[in-house]
Chains A and B, each alone.
Chain A
Amino acid sequence: MDPTSIGLIGIIALLVAIFLRMPVSFAMFITGFVGLFLFMGKAAAFNVLSADIWGQFASYTLAIIPLYVFMGEIIFRSGITQNLFDAAYKWLGQFKGGMASTTILASAGFSSICGSNTATAATMGTIALPELKKYKYDQAISAGAVATGGTLGILIPPSTVLIVIAIQTQQSVKDLFAAVLLPGILLTILMILTIIFLCQKNPNLGPAGPKFPLSEKLKSLTGVIPVFVLFAFVIGGLFYGLFTPTESGAFGAFGALIITIAMRKFTWKRLVDALDSTIRSTAMVLFLVVGAVVFGRFITATRLPFAVAEFVSNLAVPSVIILIAILFVYVIGGAIMDALGFLILSIPIFFPAVIMLGYDPVWFSIILCIVTSLGAITPPVGVNAFIVQGISREIPMTTVFKGTGYFIVTYSILIAILILFPQIVTFLI
């Protein structure tokens, strides 16, 4: 049998295992291992299980995940987030879908200090999901808003995915960060418009709350100040040059502790509870990431991604059709495996092809980043969707994907806009 078919069988085996309810991370680990075992031999398969897994676990860059989650957990346990959402509710709650829109905005703000979509989804999920539930939001909209809001993590700078693209294609990190700013803000606005549109059509999805007098609205803002100070410290510190992203996670968590102590909201029990949730979210997220690496090793060895890429770029049709076809391959790739892994595999093949077709490298990098983040919310393998479901177990997976489904439409609109008006990307560089 040729390697490509073996790769395809591997993907089918992964899906079967997932749908027979093997935990997703376990399924990626095990099918990846079995695939390597059968395809590359016993020694090769065992090798991935040791040095590779250790290398992923002992990664300074991935340490950003527990630190940011911990920061979110401390703020959440202290009840300060409550103030934030109360304030947001007083201002926006009177509109249909206001609380879900707040979730998107909060995710966008958080994304500007966090370069990872999974960390953003995990942190905002911890903060926003209980609130959305409390305000009786539809489960699908709630889960969809958190999972999709998380994808802003790599679409608002800093962004690990853009750093990877910049290094792989020898472009300027600074340029890519500048270029993604407008599309990131545009996507944030489009997501909020999506929520407003859906809730106008069906007010049960995100019920309008009571209207508050202006005095009460203004008063609610005082409760937001600590959070604002913390975010300003973290965002400001990062952009002003006090610390790197991983460090901003540590300083953020530390700052959050200081604030809760200063506000007399600190108790040892809350600290322990925050750590309890932090380590479970971290183990869940990192197990998914590392599982995707193991499965990715197998898929890479079969050269399936390369075969698909070659097929697409060999088609003799107009360039925009090829572009859309390539984007479609990325959507499929992001659907069936870890989107970042697929990105890393495919850039050397697709990137030169697309530049040859006459597209701007910076523009295509941003489009790739957008499609990669889309991969985190598409079924069946959507990392952000899994994270939301992992945090809020009472929401069924199908409901989460129903919720992200609305925003897949939003994403498609954004991509269409950027194909029609590429200046939105190239304007700031």
Chain B
Amino acid sequence: ACSSTSSGNQSSGNESSGEKSADVIELNYAFFAPAGTFPAVQMEKWAEELEKRTNNKVKVNTFPGGTLLTAENMYDGVANGLADIGLSSTTYEPGRFPLLAVSDMPSGYPNAKVASKVIADLVNEYTPEAFKDFKIITTFASEPAYIQSQQPIESLEDLKGKQLRISGATTDLFKELGAAPVGMSQSEVAEALQTGIVNGYVSSREVLKDMKYAEMVKYITDYPLTVNTFVAVMNKSKWDSLPEDVKTVIDELNTEMTDFTGDYLDNYVGEVLKWSEDEHSIKTVPLKDNENWTEIGNKLQLNAVKKAEEAGLPGQEYQNRLKELVEKYSQEQ
């Protein structure tokens, strides 16, 4: 379907860079969020490594910021050859990934590294039906989401009725926890926080710096909640057209990128937390009623398991494996 990459190169070979030969393979890689966000950093790193390890036999054109494909259209766009590779979050398409919805629920992930490793294994072992016609390039996860708010939230009582901006399929969880979840477009969150239309939001914590939310909230509730799963996929016929040596490098990068992204995000969040504390006096507050939150989290995960079973998928088996893997990778830390 993608005629551009092969035909597009004949005349670009004589550009000043000189190193390109006539049969450089070009790959277009699309992502919905802006450059600088951690999945985009991962994308650039992958591009750099692939180019280096194939001695520039492959050239990767990256398209962050939804310029080529948006979140709603990512996987379909790759299937149709609009980009060769697309990186998106399965968390944004509830219903299409019932098993991944189970591992997105609070599962005791200590950090992004463990979450990434666990979910990458799960994606390999229980490859979602929706990815059958793709080549999976890599899988990773965000760090767990934390409540970041203007008033301290230390218990379910504090959370009651609080208007929190949520993203992904977390409505049920927050309704169950007693908050008033608000769905809102990313572009309005800053203003909504500034003006007090929402009391806070739920997200992984790098946004304190990346989105400048540190200026608008004061407290982080020290309790890990849901994660966002990210999967990068390649168009299948594109994959089939690649030479063996390139395929080998891409396969070896799969696990490496899972580890790289987890490490990168955990380190970066560490820096962000220090910066938020020093520059904006953001405080992390502990929970007084941990068990209640865990109980509700478990209940919601069970609901997700049931939904998966209803869809004819091995939900229970998946949850068991999830627990095993969390324990395994947490100990390896």
Contact = CB atoms under 8 A, between A and B. Distances in A.
A173 B73 contact: no
B3 A41 contact: yes
Interface of B is mostly: loop
B73 A47 contact: yes
B327 interface: no
Given A48-B82, A173-B212, A174-B215, A245 B4 contact: no
B36 interface: yes
Interface stretch (A130-138, A189-197, A235-243, A368-376): A235-243
B28 A301 contact: yes
B1 interface: yes
Contacts of B73: 47, 51-52, 55
B270 interface: no
Contacts of B210: 170
A312 to B, nearest CB: 15
Given A44-B81, A51-B73, A170-B210, A39 B4 contact: yes
Contacts of A39: 3-4
A120 interface: no
Interface string B50-92: 0000000000010111011010110011011110000000000
B11 A244 contact: no
Interface in B1-55: 1-4, 7-12, 28, 34-36
Contacts of B61: 303
Interface string B182-197: 0011011011101111
Most buried by B among A3, A42, A244, A297: A244
B215 A172 contact: yes
Contacts of B76: 47, 51
Contacts, number: 123
Contacts of A36: 82
Given A163-B190, A348-B35, A52 B70 contact: yes
Interface residue tally of chain B, by bracket?
A: 35 or more
A19 interface: no
Nearest to A42: B1
B212 A166 contact: yes
Contacts of B36: 168, 170
Contacts of A200: none
B185 A345 contact: no
B187 A160 contact: yes
B102 to A, nearest CB: 26
Contacts of B8: 2-3
Nearest to A169: B36
A246 interface: yes
Contact of B1 (A43, A172, A345): A43
A27 to B, nearest CB: 21
B287 interface: no
Contacts of B188: 60-61, 244-246
A99 B58 CA distance: 61
B214 to A, nearest CB: 10
Contacts of A300: 63, 67-68
A51 B4 CA distance: 22
A301 to B, nearest CB: 6
Contacts of A47: 73, 76-77, 80, 82
B285 interface: no
A344 interface: yes
B11 A55 contact: no
Contact of B68 (A41, A173, A297): A297
Interface in A157-171: 158, 160, 163-164, 166-168, 170-171
A76 to B, nearest CB: 27
A214 interface: no
Given A44-B1, A47-B73, A168-B34, A301 B68 contact: yes
Given A43-B80, A60-B185, A243-B197, A296 B70 contact: no
A244 B28 contact: no
B72 A40 contact: no
A241 B2 contact: no
16 contacts: A44-B82, A51-B73, A51-B76, A60-B185, A61-B188, A160-B187, A168-B34, A168-B36, A172-B215, A238-B195, A244-B197, A297-B67, A297-B68, A300-B67, A301-B4, A344-B67
Interface of A: 1-3, 36, 39-44, 46-48, 51-52, 54-55, 59-61, 158, 160, 163-164, 166-168, 170-174, 238-247, 296-297, 300-301, 303, 344-345, 348
Leading 9 A-B pairs by shortest Cβ distance: A241-B195, A43-B80, A51-B73, A44-B82, A47-B80, A2-B11, A41-B1, A55-B72, A44-B81
Given A55-B70, A61-B187, 16 more contacts: A40-B82, A41-B1, A43-B81, A46-B80, A47-B80, A51-B73, A158-B191, A168-B34, A170-B209, A173-B190, A241-B196, A245-B191, A247-B197, A297-B67, A301-B82, A348-B65
